[in-house]
A and B are shown apart, each in its own frame.
Chain A
Amino acid sequence: MAIIENEPLALPSGDVPGVENPLGVFKRPREYSGLKNWLTTVDHKKIGIMYGAAAMFFLLIGGAAALLIRIQLATPNSSFLSADAYNQIFTMHGTVMVFLVVMPIGAAFANYLLPLQVGARDVAFPRINAFSFWVFLFGGLLLNTSWFLGGGANGGWFNYAPNNGVVFSPSTGIDFWNVGLLIAGMGSLAGSVNLITTVLNLRAPGMTLMRMPIFVWMTLVTQFLLLFAVPVLTVAQILLIMDRNFGASFFAVDLGADPLLWQHLFWIFGHPEVYLMILPAFGIVSEVIPTFSRKPIFGYPFMVFSGIAIGFMGWGVWAHHMFVSGLGPLSVAAFSFATMFIAVPTGVKVLNWLATMWGAKITLNTAMLFAIGLVTQFTVGGLSGVSHAIAPWDTQQTDTYYIVAHFHYVLFGGALFGFMSGMYFWWPKAFGYKLDEGHGKFNFWAMVIGFNLTFGPQHILGLQGMPRRMHTYDDAMGFNLWNLVSTFGAFILAVGTLWVLVNALISYKGWSKAGRPDVGPDPWDARTIEWSIQSPAPEHNFDYTPTITSLDDFWHRKYAEVEDGKLRRVATGEEIAQPGNGEGVHLPAPSYWPLVLSLAMPVLGYAIIFTLWLAIPGMLLLFAGLYGWALEPADDLDIDDHHGPSHDELAGANA
């Protein structure tokens, strides 16, 4: 077990200790740079960056699918895509965006920031962290190989029974959907265990729960949602695999099966899922808004407890996705009520952000603009969401473009805008240079205009009765104008979204040309302790573990009340930042086994889809990975203690 030291462990030489090999015969890789390091790294920051990069790659796939959908719908009776291709493309668009873009970007921020914000050396289980990433990546790649191996899934992202059975969906697309998400789900589950343990157990001295940054809180709630939601989806997928690939009859309606079972299982997972997509973004803007309003977050405990309340109530609203499935008036009334009620903690958050900005000297840079974008657009999406809680209204609007508009306003206008804000905000911490503000503003305005042009008109289309998931519509239906506007907006939105990558490239070139000036540890005059270390964050995070004395600890070390009762700057971030001297700090060594173990998963996945013979190499790889992992030298000083420096020497080194 890799256990992380809370304090630096000085070694006289400053070298990686010569570890006695307590269990096995394998050595751990030693590279700390280059390709091999990226493949074997257990560093939470590198894993976070890889999560982000992989999500960007999948964003390109999901975005291309979105543009194809919009081209098809731009004109009536279009034959650009066949109905079959359209089914695959909208299904894969939804699946990729939810599971391979929004969730992993949340994971990217969580991985990168959680240990830094709680003052830890790394996550609790660095190798499991690497496993989480690789297994997510391979699950996502397996899902996308379906494009070349018989066509993508075509049952919609929630893949209702009995349409998902072999009878109605004979291609292997749904098998890829099943297996790919099952594999990616293992990553989410392992990640949630890891991150919850990190937050609960590896906090720096003085970092009590109520001094944790809001982002840490929101991510903690998110991980609990994942921990309990993923297994329910897993069960639904296992039932479907049993049905499709092993001849079971869970959803065989002719044998008396109840296809609503799928809907219940899917949405018991699926509704917590939508909260776990938005909560990390809430956390991000709760860091960005106070920093650029130069005020503490308004009502910190309310922010925390409203997040927890959303986490709990998120479990009691799933059936509002099923109002038209004939649940009966009592269930509909109960879920309708619960759904209206969950708007309360969400509204608390919106009001607290507004109150934080109220009367503040706001710095309107790109990060802040995107944060305000989230607050505004999420509120629009939230209000159309509340309108769905009214069951008769929902009955009218369900499965129309009104729903499509609603969830894009919360997931794109909300979550993705929040993530963009986070990227602009933490980019200097991760890479050592700021993203260009001019291009950033263009990035923001193109996205705002494109987004609202794309999805705003879809409210109207939905109210006019245009159903979602239809591959075309007739000329006489009156949908022409707003569909054309929506397609037009989608291309602006695509350019705007891509611009963050362009900006990263341009800013990097400019930074290199200028001789790579040091951006400094604290470029935004920010509040939380990840800004008290150098940028980019050094491999070892903190030179010494900070001691936390208050909420926004770093801020309070920079500003204090002077005699006249006014807040005055007493130090700059540069002055009090840690110098980034990692000499003598012991870090967990990289490892091959997370990669090996993860590679077993797609092999086993293909075994289920194509031929069980593949299970033999898959199982061999699985056991090689498991036992290689278990027998690998732990490379922790707590195994090595007889050879390390004495306690007194260490105390001296820390002083």
Chain B
Amino acid sequence: MTDLATPVDGGSAADDHNQHQDSHDDHAPTSLGLSNSKLAMWLFLGSECLLFGALISTYLLSKARFIAELTAGNPNVIEGLMPAEEVEALGDGVRGSFETLPEIFNEMAMEGSVEPIFDIPFTSFSSFVLLMSSLCMVLAHKATEERDYKNQRVWLATTALLGSVFIGGQIYEFTAFYREGLTFGGSLFGSAFFTLTGFHGVHVTGGILMLVSLLVLSFRGKLKSDRSETVELVGLYWHFVDIIWVLIFTIVYLIP
């Protein structure tokens, strides 16, 4: 059946429904019964799983190699963790050792773990914020379907705001690590940590941009209940990014 009743504006939905009784779904009929956009989003997220899977594997490998070389006292690894001027100050023929390491890395070498640099309570808090944003996303979708456009805007804005708080936390954390001496290129651990969490941060930022775009559409009156699937799709992406964070938080921060 040709579905002409596709997105209909709030008020006329009931009328349209009577007119085309066989087409009450909000998309053209498809072979699977699932809308094209939603199927495509699921496929895209499936592909993203491989992207993050490869990044997480890279992190695990790099961290293990880094710790092994650090505890073995590889002078290259040690000098990579020291500020450039201190490496120069060592003098001819002298290589870096545990004593010349900045305090935090010395602790890492002693414990044989990257734990010392993490501030678990702080990151737990920002993780909590991100997870709560998923809840707000659900509420935004629900409000859209219920034609409650005031709450739709409230929840969309809250989701974007909580996402921004998370990003703010990440910027703060990156800065703090950098000040303690963890540079991007100085060590395998630095490269892998910043790339993995940074990639996730870019995904969150993309999600925030989408949420803000939705908010603008909503204020212009273009995000009525007939387009609730658009909200749902952004929601799918947002939840996916959150779930990935649960994995990253567990693997990077919690598992020693």
Q: Which residues of A contact B (CB under 8 A)?
A: 1, 3-7, 9, 22-23, 124-125, 189, 192-194, 196-197, 200-203, 207, 227-232, 234-236, 238-239, 242-243, 246-250, 252, 254-258, 261, 265, 268, 627, 630, 637-639, 641-642, 644, 646-647, 650
Contact = CB atoms under 8 A, between A and B. Distances in A.
Contacts of A207: 31
Determine which residue in B51, B66, B80, B184 has the highest number of CB atoms from chain A within 10 A of its CB, and name it: B51
Determine which residue in B1, B62, B217 has the highest number of CB atoms from chain A within 10 A of its CB, and name it: B62
B58 A239 contact: yes
28 contacts: A5-B28, A9-B2, A124-B39, A194-B40, A197-B43, A201-B31, A207-B31, A227-B46, A231-B51, A232-B51, A235-B54, A236-B54, A242-B191, A243-B191, A246-B184, A249-B80, A249-B191, A254-B76, A255-B66, A255-B77, A256-B65, A256-B77, A257-B65, A261-B62, A265-B58, A638-B28, A647-B4, A647-B19
B213 interface: yes
Contacts of A201: 30-32, 34, 36, 39
A250 B194 CA distance: 12
Nearest to A189: B47
A200 B66 contact: no
A252 B187 CA distance: 9
A262 to B, nearest CB: 10
A415 B75 CA distance: 51
B195 interface: yes
Q: Which 9 interchain pairs have the tightest Cβ spacing?
A: A638-B6, A256-B69, A235-B54, A247-B185, A231-B51, A248-B191, A201-B30, A231-B50, A641-B4
A27 B219 CA distance: 22
Contacts of A254: 76
A641 B8 contact: yes
Contacts of B19: 646-647
Contacts of A250: 58, 62, 188, 191-192, 195
B32 A200 contact: yes
Contacts of A637: 4
Nearest to A545: B2
Contacts of A231: 47-48, 50-51, 54
A320 B46 CA distance: 26
Contact of A193 (B43, B80, B194, B217): B43
Given A227-B43, A638-B3, 19 more contacts: A3-B28, A4-B28, A6-B28, A125-B36, A189-B47, A228-B46, A231-B50, A232-B50, A232-B51, A238-B199, A255-B66, A255-B77, A255-B80, A255-B187, A258-B61, A627-B213, A630-B213, A638-B27, A641-B8
Interface string B183-223: 01111101110110001000000000000010001000010
B222 A192 contact: no
Contacts of A202: 30-31, 36
B7 A235 contact: no
A238 B8 CA distance: 43
B184 A234 contact: no
Determine which residue in B44, B190, B191, B194 has the highest number of CB atoms from chain A within 10 A of its CB, and name it: B191
A4 B39 CA distance: 14
A252 B46 CA distance: 31
Contacts of B8: 641
Interface string B63-84: 0011011000010110010000
A197 B27 CA distance: 14
B117 interface: no
Determine which residue in A247, A249, A257 has the highest number of CB atoms from chain B within 10 A of its CB, and name it: A249
Interface of B: 1-8, 12, 16, 19-20, 27-32, 34-37, 39-40, 43-44, 46-48, 50-51, 54-55, 58, 61-62, 65-66, 68-69, 74, 76-77, 80, 184-188, 190-192, 194-195, 199, 213, 217, 222
A124 B62 CA distance: 41
B191 A124 contact: no
B213 A22 contact: no
Contacts of A265: 54, 58
A618 B48 CA distance: 24
A193 B40 contact: yes
Nearest to A232: B54
Nearest to B81: A255
Contacts of B40: 124-125, 193-194, 197
Nearest to B48: A231
Nearest to A238: B195
A230 B55 CA distance: 13
Contacts of B32: 200-201
A228 B191 contact: no
A85 B256 CA distance: 49
Contact of B62 (A203, A257, A627, A650): A257
B34 A256 contact: no
Nearest to A264: B57
B77 A235 contact: no
B47 to A, nearest CB: 5
Nearest to B3: A638
A200 B31 contact: yes
B28 A239 contact: no
B65 A258 contact: yes
Contacts of B48: 231
A197 B47 contact: no
B191 A196 contact: no
B226 to A, nearest CB: 9
Contacts of B50: 228-229, 231-232
A89 B28 CA distance: 50
Contacts of A236: 54
A257 B217 CA distance: 48
B27 A3 contact: yes
Given A197-B40, A630-B213, A639-B7, A249 B186 contact: yes
Nearest to B74: A256
B86 to A, nearest CB: 17
B236 to A, nearest CB: 14
Contacts of B222: 22-23
A235 to B, nearest CB: 4
A10 B76 CA distance: 73
B37 A1 contact: yes
Given A4-B28, A258-B65, A249 B187 contact: yes
A249 B81 CA distance: 12
A193 B41 CA distance: 8
B77 A248 contact: no
Nearest to B31: A203
Nearest to A648: B19
A407 B46 CA distance: 30
A5 B6 CA distance: 11
Determine which residue in A228, A229, A265 has the highest number of CB atoms from chain B within 10 A of its CB, and name it: A228
Contacts of A23: 217, 222
Nearest to A268: B54
Contacts of B6: 3, 638-639, 641
